[in-house]
Amino acid sequence: MLLTITTTHQPATDLGYLLYKHPDRFQTFDISYGKAHVFYTEATAERCTAALLLELDPVALVRSNDKDNSAPLAQYVNDRPYVASSFFSVAINQVFGTALSGNSRERPDLVRREIPLEATLAVVPCRGGDELIHKLFEPLGYEVFTDRHPLDPQFPQWGESRYWRVTVRARARLTDLLSHLYVLLPVLDGQKHYWVGEDELEKLLRHGDGWLEEHPHRELVVSRYLGRRRSLVREALDRLRTLDDDLPEDDADDDEVAATPRPVSLGRQRMDVVTEKLVATGAGTVLDLGCGEGKLVKELLGCPQFSRILAMDVSHRALEIAARRLKLDRMAPAKRERLELFHGSLFYRDERIEGCDAAAVVEVIEHLDPERLEAFERVLFGWTRPRWVVLTTPNAEYNVVWDTLPAGEVRHPDHRFEWSRTEFGAWITKVCEAFGYRTHELFGVGVEVTDHGHPTQGVVLCREES
């Protein structure tokens, strides 16, 4: 099975630095059940193509699988050595691991840049036809070309096979292209060569980070990737939902979709807007209350203005995921020192969160029981008293705009309430009067719809000087 990756980024031979494989060398790697070869079929400044050829040993495959005697011949005569499958994902991980994880010692800036890339897979087995190939790759911004292999070119009357030659093309980051292939090849194939367990779920979430939560067919991807193991599938979908809690899809921003190949999710827009508001306050120290899985923290770490970032959540699990997503254990010490991630509840006074300039409370209050909201107000505005508070919550009036959301339902099963703009306004007035704050700015996130407002409503509050 052969994969080629081509770039016309100039100088194209930089692909060698990105893949961490020298264009002049033919290299062979031992992988489980076979060998992977890497070589370049062209390497000029204008155009460079790297090839990954996987040679599986069918006998080694049989040996690993000797408990399965159900189809003795099929053990020896099967398509596994020739097609893109989960074996291929393993090879990508083993041979291009550095590039897959988005690292490059020699070209650290290029790793983050989108460059023209084209990947061709010689034989992709696809349960679901080439329609599925389009459905999976196109939402990620790729142009997709498929060409179905006949069963045997010498006997056209035998008809078509279930194998396609597939090319995907986009301006993309190489790490993203490799992550997409890593996850989607086994999904297309629909067979896994190993037992699907907890660690597969972690791999899926790690390699799906940043794109899977927004993929319109994420249910299908997750279900097939995890071999339809229901408890794992449910857990993965739950975790993806909290990673991107703007389900259902924000289909209101058609204009943006047209302008950019990949729609910017509401969740991401919210992080950008909240970061911008926090930066504008001039705060040096900042709290992220109900930080969840650390999406805002990631943005805040990127702003040198914030010398100290304290992030708190009541959910151990969310904190664990945040630590993993932020790669805390591998974070550069200078960055790591600026961040504290800890467990705590917004219902109780906590000295650890006192003394910061600003607090962000993003999509949290709707998760609190209404009868406990006052306890939260006392903790935040009464005890903690940051000079600035940036707070967001869903705008209930917008819900009817989402045609996938049944009328009267909230957006997330854990939302205890969702407020109209008037209800939000009344709550703001109440806390300002009770605790000596004033509204600095009301804002919305996402595309505004007449009479319904923005999908997310937000406020920047400022403590009155006493």
**Subset of residues 105 to 124 that bind ligand SAH, contact rule: CB under 6 A:** none
User: By CB under 6 A, is residue 297 in contact with ligand SAH?
Assistant: no
CA neighbours within 13 Å on the CB side: how many for 224?
20
How many other C-beta atoms can be found within 10 angstroms of the C-beta atom of residue 154?
7
Q: Three-state SS for 353?
A: helix
Q: Are 345 and 380 in contact (CB under 8 A)?
A: no
Question: Smallest distance from the beta carbon of 441 to ligand SAH, in angstroms?
Answer: 19
Q: Which residue is nearest to ligand SAH (CB)?
A: 292
Which pairs from 258-265 meet CB under 8 Å and 24+ separation? Answer: 261/141, 261/170, 262/139, 262/140, 262/141, 262/214, 263/214, 265/213, 265/214
Nearer to ligand SAH, 214 or 245 (CB): 245
Point out which span in 101-109, 114-122, 158-166, 288-296 binds ligand SAH (CB under 6 A).
288-296
Nearer to ligand SAH, 228 or 327 (CB): 327
Residues paired with 246 in a beta bridge? none
What is the phi-psi region of residue 140: left when phi exceeds 0, alpha when psi lies from -120 to 50, beta otherwise?
A: alpha
Nearer to ligand SAH, 98 or 345 (CB): 345
Question: Smallest distance from the beta carbon of 236 to ligand SAH, in angstroms?
Answer: 17
Q: What H or E segment, with its residue span, contains residue 393?
A: strand 388-394
User: By CB under 6 A, is residue 292 in contact with ligand SAH?
Assistant: yes
Q: Three-state SS for 196?
A: coil
Question: Hey, what are 3's tokens?
Answer: 């994969």
User: By CB under 6 A, is residue 458 in contact with ligand SAH?
Assistant: no
Q: What H or E segment, with its residue span, contains residue 27?
A: strand 27-31
User: By CB under 6 A, is residue 323 in contact with ligand SAH?
Assistant: no
User: Going along 32-183, which residue ranges are E strands?
Assistant: 34-43, 48-56, 115-125, 143-150, 160-172
Question: Smallest distance from the beta carbon of 399 to ligand SAH, in angstroms?
Answer: 18
Contacts of 279 (CB under 8 A, 6+ apart): 303, 305
Point out which span in 1-9, 60-68, 343-351, 395-403 binds ligand SAH (CB under 6 A).
343-351
Nearer to ligand SAH, 143 or 414 (CB): 414
Nearer to ligand SAH, 144 or 264 (CB): 264
**Subset of residues 144 to 183 that bind ligand SAH, contact rule: CB under 6 A:** none
Residues paired with 285 in a beta bridge? 308
Contacts of 108 (CB under 8 A, 6+ apart): none
User: By CB under 6 A, is residue 285 in contact with ligand SAH?
Assistant: no
Q: What H or E segment, with its residue span, contains residue 310?
A: strand 308-313
Question: Hey, what are 49's tokens?
Answer: 């193509």
Count of residues in the chain: 466
User: By CB under 6 A, is residue 362 in contact with ligand SAH?
Assistant: yes
Point out which span in 108-116, 357-365, 398-406, 435-443 binds ligand SAH (CB under 6 A).
357-365
Q: Which of 346, 353, 379, 391 binds ligand SAH (CB under 6 A)?
A: 346
Burial of 404 (0-12, 13-18, 19+ CB in 10 A): exposed
Point out which span in 227-235, 250-258, 363-371, 381-389 binds ligand SAH (CB under 6 A).
363-371
User: By CB under 6 A, is residue 345 in contact with ligand SAH?
Assistant: yes
User: By CB under 6 A, is residue 295 in contact with ligand SAH?
Assistant: yes
User: By CB under 6 A, is residue 313 in contact with ligand SAH?
Assistant: yes
Task: Give dist(CA 127, CA 304) in Å, integer.
Answer: 48
Point out which span in 108-116, 359-367, 426-434, 449-457 binds ligand SAH (CB under 6 A).
359-367
Nearer to ligand SAH, 320 or 433 (CB): 320
User: By CB under 6 A, is residue 314 in contact with ligand SAH?
Assistant: yes
User: By CB under 6 A, is residue 446 in contact with ligand SAH?
Assistant: no
**Subset of residues 368 to 387 that bind ligand SAH, contact rule: CB under 6 A:** 368
Q: Which of 363, 377, 397, 418 binds ligand SAH (CB under 6 A)?
A: 363
Residues paired with 164 in a beta bridge? 124, 148
Nearer to ligand SAH, 47 or 378 (CB): 378
**Subset of residues 198 to 257 that bind ligand SAH, contact rule: CB under 6 A:** 245
Task: Give dist(CA 147, CA 169) in Å, integer.
Answer: 15
Q: Which of 318, 353, 379, 396 binds ligand SAH (CB under 6 A)?
A: 318
User: By CB under 6 A, is residue 186 in contact with ligand SAH?
Assistant: no
Task: Give dist(CA 170, CA 141) in Å, integer.
Answer: 7
Q: Which of 347, 417, 427, 435 binds ligand SAH (CB under 6 A)?
A: 347
The separation between the first and the last C-alpha atoms of the chain, rounded to the nearest angstrom, is 71
User: By CB under 6 A, is residue 263 in contact with ligand SAH?
Assistant: no
Count of residues interacting with ligand SAH (CB under 6 A): 17
Q: Are 113 and 104 in contact (CB under 8 A)?
A: no
Question: Hey, what are 424's tokens?
Answer: 């939000």
Residues at the site binding ligand SAH, with contacts judged by CB under 6 A: 245, 290-292, 295, 313-315, 318, 345-347, 362-364, 367-368
